[in-house]
Amino acid sequence: MAKKRIIPKPKVAKRASSKRSSSFAISGKSWAYIFGGFVIVTLWFVSFSSNTSFRSSAYYVYVSRGTDIDELADTLSKKRVIKSAFTFKWMASLLNVETLRPGMYRIEKSWGNYRMVSFLDDAEIRMSQLIDLGTYRSRKRTIHQLCQLSNIDEKEFLALLADSDEMDDLGGFTIESVYCIFRPGRYRIYKNTNPKEVLEYLACNYVQLWNDERRAACKKLDLSEDEVVILSSIVFSETKQRSEMATIAGVYINRLRNNMKLQSDPTVLFAHTSMNSRRVSNKQLKIDSDYNTYVKKGLPPGPICIVPTFVIDEVLKYDEHAYYYFCAKGDNSGCHNFSCTYDDHITNAKKYREGLNKKKIYK
């Protein structure tokens, strides 16, 4: 009898679905971890990373009665104090902060939303006062009055101004360019304050000066904000006539753009600490100073006087013309003759000297 043929059963391949399912499960967990990590990082970033965008080391904001947190967030965003009003409001909502006590608050550079909102909610309100800083061209007189009004020690204040590290921390200033932050006007400061707080507050107000319109004008001039103030100090030292300021600014801008020395007499007089002189001697023109624009090209390292805001605005809307020279008239009017050529300038300068000689003004 023939043996029954046994046909072996075909080997059934093991299903890999279980492995795929396992692999898919691991991948799903990984995605969950990634998402969870993303949420944690995002929450940390929104809560603790810097949401400030101002230049100064601190920003002082006065909150009036009835101001809520959303209104403050919009104001700070509009003034470029904070980067994101949305995340600021979100943090305030999370911390259940809606209303604010009236008073002045100090916000430090690089604070995150959590730090700012918590501080605004819990900060001790300090008494403040209004002071009126007069219009003095002299740095010395301005500082003297400021220290008297704010009741701080003048020597300590001057020592702070001479500290290069402190000025850099204040907002990237040098011990010369820091005088850009001084402007006549009304200020609100703490009643019991110190030199550093006063400087921080002045720097804060300087930051507020540069709104979008003025920043755009700076960009058009291809000058930094500080450089515009330095140029404004030269213009303000050249004339008291507001009607001439934009024209004089145009002369210096023409010179800067053509790589010419500014050759401004007031910068020489500033270097000699003799700003009230009417004449500049040949000896004075040779002084070795960064403020002597007859020797050094470009703008000096700092303003040569304290500049009111209206002068800055006149410089920002400077007149476009072909003048490269100007000279005061000899009639004591305070006005100037403008010229395109050096020969015409020499003629005008001769008339000016003759006018001084007639009045017997030799200094």
**Rg of the chain over all Cα atoms, to the nearest angstrom:** 32
Question: Given the structure tokens 């450089």, which residue do they identify?
Answer: 227
Q: How far apart are CA 341 and CA 325, in angstroms?
A: 7
pLDDT tens digits for range 253-286: 999 999 999 999 999 999 987 666 666 777 888 8
pLDDT at 328 over 80: yes
Average pLDDT over residues 203-213: 94
Nearest to 201 by CA among 186, 214, 217: 186
pLDDT tens digits for range 331-357: 777 789 899 999 998 988 888 877 666
Nearest to 251 by CA among 237, 242, 262, 241: 262
Q: Which amino acid is at 353?
A: R
Residues in Cβ contact with 253 at an 8 Å cutoff, skipping those fewer than 6 apart: 221, 231, 318
Q: How far apart are CA 171 and CA 162, in angstroms?
A: 15
In three-state secondary structure terms, 355 is helix
The structure tokens listed for 234 are 């030269």
- Neighbour count for residue 34 (Cβ, 10 Å): 10
Average pLDDT over residues 82-103: 94
Whole-number pLDDT of residue 362? 46
pTM of the model: 0.84
pLDDT tens digits for range 63-72: 999 999 999 9
- Record: fold of 58-122: Dna Ligase; domain 1 (3.30.1490)
For the chain, residues classed under CATH 3.30.1490.480 are 58-122
Q: How far apart are CA 57 and CA 203, in angstroms?
A: 8
